[in-house]
Amino acid sequence: MTDTVLVTGANGFLGNHIVRILLQRKYRVIAMVRPGSDIRGLKGMDCTIRRGELHNPGDIRPPVMESDYVIHCASMTSPNSTDLNLYKKANLASTELLVKACREHNIRRFVLVSTANCFTNGTLDKPGNENSGFMPWLRYSGYAYSKHLAQEYVLQKSREENFPGIVVAPTFLVGPYDMKPSSGALLLYAVKNRILFCPKGGKSFVDVRAVAIATANALTMGRTGECYLLSGVNLDYRTYFRKTGQITGRRKRMIPLPGQLENLFGIACRIFPHQRIRLLKTHMRMLSLDNYFSNAKAKEELHMPDTDIDEAIKNSVSWFAGEGYLKK
């Protein structure tokens, strides 16, 4: 008998890649999306689409009852709101309701897609890992803090009530089918502009398909009650921008962003303690960090593939071009 996997946020950048991997592995997939949301990313896929709100128990229970596994990929990711309650409703309350429904219907495993922002970053020589804690200053990021709370909730239920929950935490995704676009906005910025303002920090860039494979593997691999960082290649922004220029054949001029900008926002926060200024300061601090992580644990226990960052950029650029995103 075919096992069924419920994937929330299935129409998103990562979600639609997860659905593709699951269908290749002959799972039956229930793709849960919000009412009225864009489902172009699921076009042509043999999955059952269910529309519903994740804060509504009546919308959650029926698809959970039909499923053997749940991958909770849906999330409010916008970096622009200062209202933590909005993020808590979208990212924490939905997780709590799904966990409750999964416990009632004896789901075999619940996979929460979290974020690397729930961990402390490292350097190129010593990248961050799953043993590092949440960075307190990210409490001013509604997205990061709400995801941290959701992650801790799942881990607590696993520890105290033997709930079959596992957490995967991707870094910065690169690849095709980024409809919004979300993380692809950075690549589009790098491709479409000749002059690039370059922050001093960096990120761990990871092929979205490698993340999708590791997430699907987490249904049967890995240990419940554990977190797995799904990272790729650690690069500073200058190197990433240079790669996009080399791959597209477009020369770039890079202008470094002054490190003093973060200090200016810090001074502004003390003079004008407004949430919007705090949010901007948080964003500037993130851009200035060497935001690097290790995927050693995920490679060993979830058999996560390596990221070929040049290939990921090529595939992403090709898809954006085909979809008309690069037209002037």
Task: Supply the pLDDT for residue 286.
Answer: 58
Q: How far is CA 99 from CA 53, 92, 154, 274, in A?
A: 15, 11, 8, 35
Beta-ladder partners of 227: 167
Calculate helix-pair angle for 208-217, 13-24, nearest 10 degrees.
60
Split the chain (328 residues) into runs of 10 and give each run's mean pLDDT.
94 96 98 92 93 94 97 85 80 96 96 96 94 87 91 97 98 94 89 87 95 98 98 94 92 76 40 43 58 96 98 96 86
Cα 10 to Cα 32: distance, rounded to the nearest angstrom: 6
Whether the Cβ atoms of residue 15 and residue 180 lie closer than 8 Å to each other: no
HSE, CB side, 13 Å, CA atoms: give it for residue 161: 13
Task: Supply the pLDDT for residue 49.
Answer: 96
The domains of the chain, with CATH numbers, are 4-188+204-234+292-310 (3.40.50.720)
Q: Which amino acid is at 51?
A: R
Task: Supply the pLDDT for residue 143.
Answer: 87
Task: Supply the pLDDT for residue 196.
Answer: 86
Cβ neighbours of residue 250 under 8 Å, at least 6 residues apart? Answer: 191, 194
Specify the residue for token string 């709930």. Answer: 163
Q: Can you give 232-294 as a three-state secondary structure string?
A: CEEEEHHHHHHHHHHHHCCCCEEEECCCHHHHHHHHHHHHCCCHHHHHHHHHHHHHHCEEEEC
Q: Which amino acid is at 265?
A: F
Whether the Cβ atoms of residue 90 and residue 146 lie closer than 8 Å to each other: yes
Task: Supply the pLDDT for residue 284.
Answer: 52
3-state DSSP assignment of residue 136: helix
